[in-house]
Chains A and B, each alone.
Chain A
Amino acid sequence: MRFRIEQRTEPSASMRVAAPVVATVLTLLVGSAMFAVLGYDPLSTLQAFFIAPLNSMNGLSELLLKASPLILIGCGLAVGFRANVWNIGAEGQLIIGAIAACGVGLFYPDPESPLLLPLMVLAGACAGMLWAAIPAFLRARMNTNEILVTLMLTYIATLFLSWLVHGPWRDPAGFNYPQTALLPAAAMFEPFDYSYRLNPSIFITGVAVLVMWLFTDRSFLGYKMSVGGAAPLAARYAGFRESAAVWTGLLAGGAAAGIAGMAELSGPLGQLSPQISPGYGFAAIIVAFIGRLNAFGIVLGGLLMSLLFLGGETVQLTLGLSSSLTRVFQGILLFFLLAADFFIFYRIRLIPEHA
């Protein structure tokens, strides 16, 4: 038997859905092999990585808590990715959003005002958009590659955060630790139940998913942007402006990441320190791809990616394995997903030898 690769006459809808599942299964297989090579029992390690975190109410609360920023940012980024606008600096936009929100939370004159929390959401969104507006302006007006600019701005945002918490914003009563004072209670999301960390900020993510779905599937601008991404020449012929797509794509990602940063601050963190995100901004890129740049797919992708983060933490605690395994799994998952995508457009045809 020989085989031949041939192009499908039209993209396979079933492969489009099957690819993330196939990629997940293959990632698990490679993961087991990896654990075996490292000298751990594959089954019990996989159990510790992917099942144990979900075995308790606390685990489920943590799963949603971590999925929330991933889904939120994934939705924002996907708006840009659909139009071939490559914002890979969501991590920086998240940091700037958290900084702006923290500024409002710490320095607003009335620390008990019920307005505080909404103002912080607004500050986070605006700051994230502002940080994303730099690459948007540079790409739209100066033809500068947004991949490199968004990434460079992430390094700059990290350094800015480090300066703030080591310098002007350092808590004077904080025993010289590089962190800000704790935010007042009115600047925090109140958890649903004080035994767990999950808080109402997940409703923001819920709204974002709906908005993203309405925008991409029901709005004309969303349609124009998708055409621009899939067929730039056709879009230009139809008179769709590229710069509108660039601005919308980047600002959507910036706003989402900024709000996610705010929600992290007003949720699990409570104060700024040099490390405020375990890489949600980067992982959200993968979430957007696994979710097929589609709102409901991103929800599933976000839950899966959240599980990878949780599993990484669990095996670090229980088996002493490094939590950097999370990034290894993220990379492998994306590799397999991209490879599986090939079969949306192509198929393998077996050719009998005698033919």
Chain B
Amino acid sequence: MDLFLAIFTGTIVAATPLIFAALGELVVEKSGVLNLGIEGMMLMGAAFAFWAVISGLPMPVAIVIGALAGAAASLLFGVLALTFLTNQYAAGLALAIFGSGVSAFLGRNFGSTPIDALKPVHIPLLSDIPVLGPMLFRFDPLVYLAIVMFAVISWFLYRTKGGLVLRTIGESPETAHAIGYPVIKIRYMAVLFGGLMAGLAGAYLSVAYTPLWVENMTAGKGWIALALVVFATWRPLRVLLGAWLFGGMTILQLQGQALGLAVPSELLSALPYLATIVVLVIISRNRQILALHFPASLAKPFRPAS
């Protein structure tokens, strides 16, 4: 039972940064923009949030700073991809390299001491329910925020006019522009939102999940988040399920290493990356499933004819 509880709660926690980052990227891609730089934005968020904590700022402020750092980084991408109509692949890669460099530079003096992690909430009554309490009601606040963001984004994309406009722009920016919507402005907002979410994901890693600073601590989670969006075929619910699947995989391999399985720890560590390839292959093979919710203008530069 204890092991089950550890795996269950561990899965939810490990999935949280993936949920933030992948949901953010989902919104960006739904607007027709592909930002490959999640890894860089997450690292910026992680470094700035950690810096804020060790500078003595209160935890909520530190998390906001992390999110804003991600958004600031995404603005660099936005200017290149949306104003300068750069190849979005290249701009995203540049952001990934830049973010990793800036975060490593900022973190050069962080040392290797852990900080006091973000505290779990104690919800009166709910947290004390036997079995369910420890399973569902003793997480830190960001775990719940991730679920709330899922609900908000699903509602926004499919139940509001703003969501419809965003998706229209992702399908056909020409049409949206002809109707009179400010395509570039809305895409900027989507990119900034994606940056905010990636920054939040990074902040979660450095101040709640780990909680200490290690150079390149995201270890590919930003890229896995990108893969999750494809795996989810651009549907929010499947992003959530996919994130839990990957969170579970991370925890299982960590538990396997802790149990001292007779398998090299490197092999266990490689499992999430292998799994990413496998699920991508399974989903991508079926072009029809892939095309169904694929934003048709993804990664195509658009400049309104004035």
Instruction: Output the least CB separation between B263 and chain A (Å).
Output: 11
CB nearest to B101 among chain A residues: A327
| Cα A273 to Cα B227 with chains together (Å) | 30
* Chain A stretch 104-153: residues in CB contact (< 8 A) with chain B: 138, 142-145, 147-149, 151-153
Is A341's CB under 8 angstroms from B86's CB?
yes
Across the A-B interface, how many residue pairs have beta carbons closer than 8 Å? 128
CB-CB under 8 A from B223, the residues of chain A are 148, 151-152
CB-CB under 8 A from B126, the residues of chain A are none
Is B281's CB under 8 angstroms from A142's CB?
yes
* Chain B stretch 82-111: residues in CB contact (< 8 A) with chain A: 84-87, 89-91, 93-95, 97-102, 104-105, 108
State whether the Cβ of A172 lies closer than 8 Å to any Cβ in chain B: no
Is A326's CB under 8 angstroms from B101's CB?
yes
**Which among A179-187, A238-246, A330-338 touches the partner chain?**
A330-338
Per-residue interface assignment for chain B, residues 69 to 89, with 1 indicating a CB less than 8 Å from any chain A CB and 0 otherwise: 000000010011000111101
CB-CB under 8 A from A155, the residues of chain B are 219-220, 270, 273
Is A286's CB under 8 angstroms from B273's CB?
no
Is B284's CB under 8 angstroms from A156's CB?
no
| Cα A142 to Cα B95 with chains together (Å) | 28
State whether the Cβ of A24 lies closer than 8 Å to any Cβ in chain B: no
Instruction: Output the least CB separation between A237 and chain B (Å).
Output: 20
Contact residues of A: prevailing secondary structure: helix
Give how many B residues have a beta carbon under 8 Å from the other chain's beta carbons. 46
CB-CB under 8 A from A65, the residues of chain B are none
* Chain A stretch 73-124: residues in CB contact (< 8 A) with chain B: 86, 88
Is B104's CB under 8 angstroms from A144's CB?
no
Given contacts A149-B280, A328-B105, A338-B90, contact A159 B226 (CB under 8 A): no
Is B98's CB under 8 angstroms from A163's CB?
no
Given contacts A143-B290, A153-B277, contact A331 B85 (CB under 8 A): no
A interface, CB within 8 angstroms of B: 86, 88, 138, 142-145, 147-149, 151-153, 155-156, 159-160, 162-163, 166-167, 282, 285-286, 289, 322, 324-332, 334-335, 338-339, 341-342, 345-346
B interface, CB within 8 angstroms of A: 36, 40, 76, 79-80, 84-87, 89-91, 93-95, 97-102, 104-105, 108, 215, 219-220, 223, 226-227, 230, 264, 266-267, 269-270, 273-274, 276-277, 280-281, 284-285, 287, 290
